Structure 1
Amino acid sequence: MDGLSLDDQVCFAVHAASRALDAVYRRELAELGLTYPQYLVMLVLWEREPVTVKELGRSLRLDSGTLSPLLKRLEAAGVVRRDRSPDDERSVEVRLTPEGVRLRERALCVPRRIAEATGMDVTELTGLQHTLNRLTHALAHSTS
């Protein structure tokens, strides 16, 4: 075997798992009116706010060209607002609206439902997350 079989490719295993996970998230997040990338933005904001657009991009590993339309849609949905920073006119801060705060309560069931869909226990999921974080870190540093 020369290693060029599709089933031997780590990249394909990660890709296939990501697509399957995206499908489960899509189903769960539809009830909240969020896409997966929008959910990630909301997770950051539910954890800490206000957050500058620059900080949000860094946290989510997204560039401003990807992030701006996401924020625009979330703002149109009434769950976030963007304001110029009072400390730095060039910086834009993102905050939750009261509706965005309420949305958090509705989202509390999402992690449990995702975990159930994987068929894995907490130990397995924690180990997988640790392994994927190590993989991401190693790959990011191999290209720099």
Structure 2
Amino acid sequence: MDTADDLLALDNQVCFAIVTAARNVVSIYRPILEPLGLTHPQYLVMLALWEKTPRSLGALAEELAMEPATLSPLVKRLEGQGRVRRTRDGADERMLAITLTEEGAALRARALDVPGQVMRSVGADAGRLRDLRDALAPFAGRRR
């Protein structure tokens, strides 16, 4: 049977293409984020906080499609770097508010070139990456 027609051929699996692409995306970002002192997951946290701060840990986890137990150590590391602050809500001690510090807010200016560096790295423009992002939306559980 011709593998191009084989529905179970590895190269025909969208799941394999997405998993492979995800690994490669992280490796593309790694050297770009290193000068900022950020890992890829920390970068995602910072992106969310640059859009809106403060946020509860739960709201941040939901926005990033992460479990709070996975997100919490990332936030603690960012706090250790002086980029975010975790504070208990005075009205509800169970709620943990995550806010940017001055240093965390200032880091945004240094991160402005990250998307451009990624585009240059993969040889794609913003429109092509937007189309790719939108095409992946059904798999990411988000609608555009």
Letter in 1 for 2:119: A
After TM superposition, where is structure 1 displaced by more than 3 Å over at least 4 residues in a row? none
Per the alignment, residue 110 of structure 1 pairs with 114
Distance 2:99 2:44 in 1: 14
Per the alignment, residue 70 of structure 1 pairs with 74
The normalised TM-score by structure 1 is: 0.90
Q: How does 1:11-90 map to 2 (within 5 A)?
A: 11-90=15-94
Aligned residue for 1:49, secondary structure, equals coil
Distance 1:45 1:121 in 2: 25
Distance 1:27 1:119 in 2: 16
Matched, 1:101 2:101: no
Out of 116, 119, 134, the residue aligned to residue 138 of structure 2 is 134
Percent identity between matched residues is: 46
Q: CA RMSD in A?
A: 1.3
Letter in 2 for 1:25: Y
Q: Tell me, which stretches of 5 or more residues in structure 1 are unaligned?
A: 139-144
Distance 2:141 2:66 in 1: 16
The normalised TM-score by structure 2 is: 0.90
Q: Tell me, which stretches of 5 or more residues in structure 2 are unaligned?
A: none
Letter in 2 for 1:4: L
Out of 5, 12, 18, the residue aligned to residue 9 of structure 2 is 5
> Could you tell me how far 1:79 is from its partner in structure 2?
0.4
Aligned residue for 1:94, secondary structure, equals strand
> Could you tell me how far 1:13 is from its partner in structure 2?
0.9
